[in-house]
Chains A and B, each alone.
Chain A
Amino acid sequence: MAPHDLRRPFKRPAISDQQKRREIALLRQTQNRRDAQHQARFLASSVLSLQNQNLEPISEPEPEPETEPEPETGPELQSELLSRDFDVIQASKLKGSKARQWFSRQLMLPEWMIDVPPRLNHDWYVSARPSGKRCFVVSSNGTTISRLRNGSVLHHFPSALPNGARTKDISGPAHSFCILDCIFHEMDQTYYVIDMVCWRAYSLYDCSAEFRFFWLNSKLSETGACDPPSPYHKYRFSLVPIYDCDQTGLNAAYTGVVPYVKDGLLFYNKHAHYQTGNTPLALVWKDENCSQYVLDTDSNGQVPSQQQVVLELQDDGKVTTSDDPPVVFGCLDGDFIQKSGLRLGTLLRFVISDGGMTFVDGKFQMADLNYIGKVNRARTFADSYSKVLFQYTARHSPLRVDDLITSVSSAHDQENETVDVEMAG
């Protein structure tokens, strides 16, 4: 019956510092709980179990042919340490040769398209691949670094990517970082993003391509990374148009006008995760209409009269591709190896002579190889089987764009037929 009770304190200062202390403590606890939760969600989920652990150890960037270091233990142990459950966050902080080594193995490498995969028009995306340097772009700690396929640094620059520059406007927590799969296009000095690997400290390795592209398309522009260059954003980033691989999509990617020079077409399986190393779930294909470089050139920019291949020397003298498992192309004579002082893992260049490649029941048997010499040190990988074969067919009986178009339209028909059969059965 005394409603004015609540009005009594009017002239007394409306402070209850005790209540304020309680509220501040609660606020701090809530904040801390959120931080702990946030950290748990992101940190632990970005630990990667790298897939290619059974890959042969890759030679150190600087193998000294004269000296005889312990061939296995050193680099292998190190590479094991580096690859097992390695934390992307730590990786993003790696420097020097360790960083080179780690990053040289993080890119997903598409195989060359030698056959048209089934269900191309249902399960695949297509895009026009920009011509340029394939690289990994990592933004962290207020800076951005791009690294080439062999792990070496291309640019070190500020960008509008999360945590990619030291600006006052910090969006997101300080430990945030991201990793993008890009092609640097010299002409317009632009990074064309072809895939998203980590975004704001969250790993997308285990996400389907469908999801990664969705995320890439919706997130990249939010940051201002697609804006023109500015003092805190040295290079522009740009998205590559990605199409469903039906007739329209294929046609758009093949003939459509893009602001960059095309170098073939990229095909991604929609359901595939981001897999480091060679994968048949991403493919590349090209012809003269969509690429200036269909046939490989030598160091002088000339197309050699005979196809050249780079293969890796194994301990039993076999020379193999970079695939997992490796494909054997031939075998070197033990005496020859000793005489030339060649060591395990060395990359060697050969030409495929007139004998060509031999197939039995569609399966590769052998190639007519002639040794040329050792390969430039900057090179870290042997050719993949699909690359060799793509080059080989390009010289003899190439897979044509018409074949692709037919397959996306006929695949459609096939689908209908299958349904019919099932209905009848």
Chain B
Amino acid sequence: MAMEVTQMLLNAQAVDGTVRKHAEESLKQFQEQNLPSFLLSLSGELANDDKPVDSRKLAGLILKNALDAKEQHRKFELLQRWLSLDSAVKAQIKTCLLQTLSSPVPDAASTASQVIAKIAGIELPHKQWPELIGALLSNIHQVPSHVKQATLETLGYLCEEVSPDVVEQDQVNKILTAVVQGMNSSEGNTDVRLAATRALYNALGFAQANFTNDMERDYIMRVVCEATLSPELKIRQAAFECLVSISSTYYEKLAPYIQDIFNITAKAVKEDEEPVALQAIEFWSSICDEEIDILEEYAGDFSGDSDIPCFYFIKQALPVLVPMLLETLLKQEEDQDQDEGAWNLAMAGGTCLGLVARTVGDDIVPLVMPFIEENITKPDWRQREAATYAFGSILEGPSPDKLTSVVNVALNFMLSALMKDPNNHVKDTTAWTLGRIFEFLHGSTMETPIITQENCQQIIAVLLQSMKDAPNVAEKACGALYFLAQGYDDVDSSSSPLTPFFQDIVQALLTVTRREDAGESRLRTAAYETLNEVVRCSTEETAPMVMQLVPVIMMELHQTLEGQKLSSDEREKQNELQGLLCGCLQVIIQKLGSSEATKYVFMQCVDQMMSLFLRVFACRSATAHEEAMLAIGALAYATGPDFAKYMQEFYKYLEMGLQNFEEYQVCAITVGVVGDICRALEDKILPYCDGIMTQLLKDLSSNQLHRSVKPPIFSCFGDIALAIGENFEKYLMYAMPMLQSAAELSAHTSSADDEITEYTNSLRNGILEAYSGIFQGFKNSPKTQLLMPYAPHILQFLDSLYMEKDMDDVVTKTAIGVLGDLADTLGSNAGPLIQQSMSSKDFLNECLSSDDHLIKESAEWAKLAISRAISV
């Protein structure tokens, strides 16, 4: 058998496709027939130094894949499968793996270390394999270098896999001691030192306690800083990555070291190779992130209390930090603006400069202005580009007061540079900078407008002209126009400064979308997106022109549907274009449908539009499907009950969308559209409800569907119930138990994780919206008593939410509303139940005195409804 496995593993990597396929098949069969024996063979193969390295590597890889997967539900299955294996088998596999760490073959040892970490990731949280860390560290000082290296790598992977709270502090201490000693300059072996430095990167999250101990922290920091000076590039890079991680995890502990770190990073930025210099800049970007967060928290909380105080490291380092960053801007690469994935010193430096500006605000302006003034007119394009980039980078953060006068002077210069500068990079950055000016300094909230009646025409003329430039420049010009339009989104509904240019702008954007090279630099996408924003911000005056756009976009969409035979690459582009066109129609529908005056004219093309959307669905592309679905939602809202005539044809695509587990965005959007249709059709949706409810219930019970779709599905129950009223009766027996178990799960968060709390709150909101819709749907029906049995649980749910004290405002508002809905619909029957509940007293009173207008409104309503229910 063992021989056979080796051959299978080698064949599975054969060049010959048939041999390979056959071997893969055999391996699969082996695994299915006898999993324990399969895993044992693999671990034996991996551990055996007599076997070829290729079969050993693949054996390890298959083992690893048998323990973990990306998909959440698959991951869980594999985890369960491992845990339920016979413990003798598991013990034998683990022994093989630990033994492999000592192998002189680096690939085998390295593969084993990853597999060990995966098993640790499963077992340590279940309090299994307690001897692992001890076994790894028992004789770390006596073993040969390659074993030491493999052990450190294992520790690194282990720290990446398991969460700090499942490892005891004394074991953490042992891990950190081993790792930091491995990093020390006294360690002669470079590979060991690198492995240790990389391991520390993952182990930093375990070092909370150690970082509060001055001596231990000093020691770790000293070793990390020394490692940044190592002669080995990879060690220096890894050490800076550790510093970056420390800057965000232990920001509040950095004060004693910040001066030294500045010196180290400054030297690296100036002299070191790019991978190291990038990390050195990243350190400061990361400090900016921290301070921006802290200062934001200060601003939101008047008491000035924050968990972490701000040390103003950036403000203090400003006079030296800014020149350092400005210097990097001159190190551009020749074609960085055409290369999507480009990331270099100049880009990192500019990004960091932007973050510094957001951190310190006004203080940065006088430090950057001399650099701009000195370089902006230089003959070398690098200097002009760097100056422009510096200017664009500092536009967010400083106050408009500080910037307006500078921008007013610069604006003309920028406009002329965009037209006349001979260099593509300079024009690219100039157009981007104009976009930033409009994004941050233009809009109705600005005291002194940057764009006036006098210069508006010139600005637009320049941008439209620039849209004929190279694709990268034209794309930035579209972006600038996007923000220019956005600044006018709240102008008086009758008139906008853009009105005189509206026709030209729309025409120019349409021309861009038809450029031969519009596929480059995402130019076509940018043009359509800008067109969307221009439409969104349009006013009544320009409504006829928006109306004229409808047949144009419909024609474009029609053309994409005329079936020439396409390569898969062409088809992908075609689908992308369909998505953009449906997106554009969606924006137009929403714009024209929102006013009675325009709605009437627009209604005449609804039939045609609908048939186009149905054809888009038939193309089966996820992006286009999603966009068409959103457009239909907007359409249903605009047409109201008349939408009924499309339902029969549309229904199958609706169902298809609800079945789309893989592209969960499509599913989520479709769920939202069901809500739109419910509100449009009201009880006319009834004939489709059996099908819709069946799908929604299936979605909820699927563990394949992304969890973010579940809260909107609950809300959708409410939409349906509100639309069909007491006809919801037949779904109660399915929907209510699901709501109830979801409610029980979501009543307690028991987690400090913000993301989980946020999800739990959205789930609660969905559940509560479902209850609300169901109660309101049944109101004044003779069948209200059907809901009575659910009332105790729902009140309990409200009480427990109140006790948890971690509802956000939206949930609070919905929850107190449900209390009212329950009282409103069940009336005096529920009176005694309501009076017993805590929600009707303390919770309600708290909401009545809430500062949040919406909470207060819901609470007042609930109070009225309750008073009627109990005063009979």
Nearest CB of chain A from residue B282's CB, rounded to whole Å: 5
Q: Given the complex, which residues of B lie within 8 Å of A11, measured CB to CB? A: 347, 350, 389, 429, 432
Is the beta-carbon distance between B864 and A37 smaller than 8 angstroms? no
Known: A10-B350, A10-B354. A4 touches B343 (CB 8 A): yes
Is the beta-carbon distance between A206 and B679 smaller than 8 angstroms? no
Is the beta-carbon distance between A202 and B779 smaller than 8 angstroms? no
Is the beta-carbon distance between A1 and B241 smaller than 8 angstroms? yes
Nearest CB of chain A from residue B432's CB, rounded to whole Å: 6
Is the beta-carbon distance between A22 and B676 smaller than 8 angstroms? no
Q: A7: CB under 8 A from chain B?
A: yes
Stretch at the interface among A13-21, A135-143, A366-374, A386-394: A13-21
Q: Given the complex, which residues of A lie within 8 Å of B389, measured CB to CB? A: 11
Within 8 A of B (CB), among A1-51: 1, 3-4, 7-8, 10-11, 13, 15, 17-18, 21-22, 24-26, 28-29, 32-33, 36-37, 40-41, 44-45, 47
Is the beta-carbon distance between A25 and B672 smaller than 8 angstroms? yes
Known: A22-B630, A24-B590. A41 touches B821 (CB 8 A): yes
Contact of B871 among A29, A47, A207 (CB under 8 A): A207
Contact of B820 among A8, A21, A41 (CB under 8 A): A41
Nearest CB of chain B from residue A125's CB, rounded to whole Å: 15
CA distance A304 to B479 in the complex (A): 89
Q: Given the complex, which residues of B lie within 8 Å of A157, measured CB to CB? A: none
Is the beta-carbon distance between A32 and B676 smaller than 8 angstroms? yes
CA distance A392 to B416 in the complex (A): 99
CA distance A157 to B719 in the complex (A): 40
Closest to A18 in B: B583
Q: Given the complex, which residues of A lie within 8 Å of B779, measured CB to CB? A: 40, 44-45
Is the beta-carbon distance between B864 and A215 smaller than 8 angstroms? yes
Size of chain B's interface in residues, with CB distance under 8 A?
68
Is the beta-carbon distance between A25 and B529 smaller than 8 angstroms? no
Q: Given the complex, which residues of A lie within 8 Å of B475, measured CB to CB? A: 13
Known: A25-B633, A25-B634, A37-B776. A7 touches B285 (CB 8 A): yes
Q: A175: CB under 8 A from chain B?
A: no
1/0 contact trace for B657-676 toward A, CB 8 Å? 00000000100010010011
Q: Given the complex, which residues of A lie within 8 Å of B525, measured CB to CB? A: 17
Q: A271: CB under 8 A from chain B?
A: yes
Is the beta-carbon distance between A207 and B637 smaller than 8 angstroms? no
Contact of A45 among B245, B532, B824 (CB under 8 A): B824
Q: B201: CB under 8 A from chain A?
A: yes
Contact of A10 among B347, B529, B532, B627 (CB under 8 A): B347
CA distance A32 to B637 in the complex (A): 9
Q: A133: CB under 8 A from chain B?
A: no
Q: Given the complex, which residues of A lie within 8 Å of B855, measured CB to CB? A: none
Size of chain A's interface in residues, with CB distance under 8 A?
37
Q: Given the complex, which residues of A lie within 8 Å of B872, measured CB to CB? A: 206
Is the beta-carbon distance between A47 and B780 smaller than 8 angstroms? yes
Is the beta-carbon distance between A204 and B583 smaller than 8 angstroms? no
Closest to A17 in B: B529
Known: A17-B583, A40-B722, A207-B868. A29 touches B590 (CB 8 A): no
Q: A238: CB under 8 A from chain B?
A: no
Q: Given the complex, which residues of A lie within 8 Å of B867, measured CB to CB? A: 207-208, 211
Within 8 A of B (CB), among A194-229: 202, 204, 206-208, 210-211, 215
Is the beta-carbon distance between B533 and A17 smaller than 8 angstroms? yes
Q: Given the complex, which residues of B lie within 8 Å of A3, measured CB to CB? A: 241, 244-245, 282, 286
Known: A13-B435, A17-B583, A33-B769. A202 touches B864 (CB 8 A): yes
Q: Given the complex, which residues of A lie within 8 Å of B435, measured CB to CB? A: 13
Is the beta-carbon distance between B282 and A37 smaller than 8 angstroms? no
Is the beta-carbon distance between B824 and A41 smaller than 8 angstroms? yes
Q: Given the complex, which residues of A lie within 8 Å of B634, measured CB to CB? A: 25, 28
Q: A273: CB under 8 A from chain B?
A: yes
Q: Given the complex, which residues of A lie within 8 Å of B669, measured CB to CB? A: 22, 25
Is the beta-carbon distance between A273 and B482 smaller than 8 angstroms? no
Within 8 A of A (CB), among B206-247: 241, 244-245
Is the beta-carbon distance between A36 and B479 smaller than 8 angstroms? no
Within 8 A of A (CB), among B636-691: 637, 665, 669, 672, 675-676, 679
1/0 contact trace for B171-201 toward A, CB 8 Å? 0000000000000000000000000000001
Is the beta-carbon distance between B347 and A37 smaller than 8 angstroms? no
Residue among A26, A41, A47 with the most chain B CB within 10 A?
A41
Contact of A17 among B532, B719, B772, B821 (CB under 8 A): B532
CA distance A8 to B341 in the complex (A): 8
Is the beta-carbon distance between B864 and A204 smaller than 8 angstroms? yes
CA distance A8 to B354 in the complex (A): 13
CA distance A325 to B823 in the complex (A): 34
Is the beta-carbon distance between B479 and A13 smaller than 8 angstroms? yes
Closest to A35 in B: B679
Is the beta-carbon distance between A29 and B676 smaller than 8 angstroms? yes
Closest to A209 in B: B871
Known: A37-B722, A41-B776. A29 touches B350 (CB 8 A): no
Q: B471: CB under 8 A from chain A?
A: no
Q: Given the complex, which residues of B lie within 8 Å of A13, measured CB to CB? A: 432, 435, 475-476, 479, 482-483, 526
CA distance A211 to B672 in the complex (A): 39
Closest to B241 in A: A1
Nearest CB of chain A from residue B781's CB, rounded to whole Å: 10
Q: B278: CB under 8 A from chain A?
A: yes
Is the beta-carbon distance between A211 and B532 smaller than 8 angstroms? no
Nearest CB of chain A from residue B670's CB, rounded to whole Å: 12
Within 8 A of A (CB), among B577-615: 579, 583, 586-587, 590
Within 8 A of B (CB), among A390-421: none
Nearest CB of chain B from residue A14's CB, rounded to whole Å: 8
Known: A1-B201, A7-B348, A271-B871. A28 touches B590 (CB 8 A): yes
CA distance A342 to B787 in the complex (A): 56
Is the beta-carbon distance between A21 and B871 smaller than 8 angstroms? no
Is the beta-carbon distance between A37 and B773 smaller than 8 angstroms? yes
Nearest CB of chain A from residue B11's CB, rounded to whole Å: 34
CA distance A21 to B719 in the complex (A): 22
Known: A13-B479, A37-B817. A21 touches B350 (CB 8 A): no
Q: Given the complex, which residues of A lie within 8 Å of B739, measured CB to CB? A: none
Is the beta-carbon distance between B871 and A211 smaller than 8 angstroms? yes
Contact of B719 among A15, A33, A41, A208 (CB under 8 A): A33
Q: Given the complex, which residues of A lie within 8 Å of B371, measured CB to CB? A: none
Within 8 A of A (CB), among B764-795: 769, 772-773, 776-777, 779-780
Q: Given the complex, which residues of A lie within 8 Å of B871, measured CB to CB? A: 206-208, 210-211, 271, 273
CA distance A42 to B432 in the complex (A): 51
Q: Given the complex, which residues of B lie within 8 Å of A207, measured CB to CB? A: 864, 867-868, 871
Q: Given the complex, which residues of A lie within 8 Å of B590, measured CB to CB? A: 24, 28
Q: Given the complex, which residues of B lie within 8 Å of A24, measured CB to CB? A: 590
Is the beta-carbon distance between A36 and B350 smaller than 8 angstroms? no
Q: Given the complex, which residues of B lie within 8 Å of A208, measured CB to CB? A: 867, 871
Is the beta-carbon distance between B586 and A21 smaller than 8 angstroms? yes
Is the beta-carbon distance between A21 and B583 smaller than 8 angstroms? yes
1/0 contact trace for B715-731 toward A, CB 8 Å? 10011001000000000
CA distance A40 to B678 in the complex (A): 14
CA distance A8 to B348 in the complex (A): 8
Q: B538: CB under 8 A from chain A?
A: no
Known: A28-B634, A33-B679. 10 other contacts (CB 8 A): A17-B528, A18-B583, A21-B586, A21-B587, A25-B633, A29-B633, A44-B780, A45-B779, A47-B780, A207-B868
**A-B residue pairs in contact (CB < 8 Å), sample of 24:** A1-B201, A4-B282, A7-B285, A7-B348, A10-B347, A10-B351, A11-B350, A11-B429, A13-B482, A15-B482, A15-B529, A17-B525, A17-B583, A22-B630, A25-B630, A25-B669, A33-B679, A37-B769, A37-B776, A37-B817, A40-B777, A41-B865, A207-B864, A208-B867
Top-6 shortest CB links A-B: A13-B479, A17-B529, A208-B871, A40-B776, A211-B867, A206-B868
> Chain A residues in contact with chain B, CB under 8 A?
1, 3-4, 7-8, 10-11, 13, 15, 17-18, 21-22, 24-26, 28-29, 32-33, 36-37, 40-41, 44-45, 47, 202, 204, 206-208, 210-211, 215, 271, 273
